[in-house]
Amino acid sequence: MWQPEGMADSFAARFAAVRARFGPLVWGLDPSGDLLNAWGFGDTAAGLDRFADIVLEAAAGTVGLVKPQSAFYERHGWRGIRTLQRLLASARGAGLLTILDVKRGDVGSTNDAYAEAFLGAGAPLEADAVTVHPYLGLAAMGAFVSRASSAGACLLVVTRSSNPEGRIVQEARVMPGTGDGPGTGDGPGTGDGPGTGVGHSVEEALLAEIGTLNVALAPGQIGPVGAVVAPAHLDRAHLEPALDLPAAHALFLAPGVGAQGATSADVARTFAACPGRVMPSASRLLLSAGPDPGALRDAAAALAAKFRAALPATGLDG
């Protein structure tokens, strides 16, 4: 299988390499029970194994990144975890970048344990990037951040999610002096810039703190801390406040393409200021073409071509 020559150390550089060959599309590998049954495999651990074999065959050489959602594997117990472990290792061996969608987030030694499970050489479920929730404070993610940075991995912080229920938290206004989180008078990202003081939202504050971290960890480059930012649909674009995405010095995972309604045009419009940094993700839209590997491959190649055309960026936009 194709692998990028001279794999660079940072996730951002590896993403730039696969993007140049395959485009930015991330293929979500989410084997729900309904999907396994629809494919005729049965909602069993054996059916999950068959799913993993087929999607690996279809994805390698077609896209540059895959994103398994851990929950769909965990629900099958230890056998599902074994399949996930095999899927991650085989995908990375085939030259695919792996984003493990786990959305973990805790404090102290618990975060240390999570980071050890997913990031760095020898991690039992080693991935190139993982998703995390920041709502116990981004400063509590120190183990994740340091491990991602040293391993050349990426931490993708949920900042603006694709579900409407998340907006009440993400749009909430940050008040100064209310704690040590982003946008307060006590922690990183303080002062008069975005994400500080009255009138800035949680999502703005998170992006500001991500930018501060990346400037410190990778001066003049795209840093190891990225963000999950859902594209605004055309009919809601006027309701979604614009975010200062370039200032985060980050890569962005853009969920919600296809079944959740987002299009390549929505992604291009949302990330117009940094099109080379976005990783649009689709799952159900692509998996509906299965289980034939050729049909899956054709569906992924067609969507990948759409995104290559919609996001014609060179490098990582500076």
List, by residue number, the catalytic residues.
103
3-state secondary structure of 30: coil
Rounded Cα distance between 10 and 16, Å, is 10
Other C-beta atoms lying within 10 Å of the C-beta of residue 301: 17
252 pairs with which residues across the strands?
Answer: 227, 278
Pinpoint the alpha helices (H) of the chain.
Answer: 11-22, 33-38, 45-59, 70-74, 77-93, 108-118, 142-151, 167-170, 202-217, 264-270, 284-287, 293-310
Nearest-angstrom CA–CA distance, 62 and 46: 25
Write the single-letter amino acid at 97. Answer: L
Task: Copy the structure tokens of residue 106.
Answer: 């805790």
Strand 26-29, strand 278-282: pairing: parallel
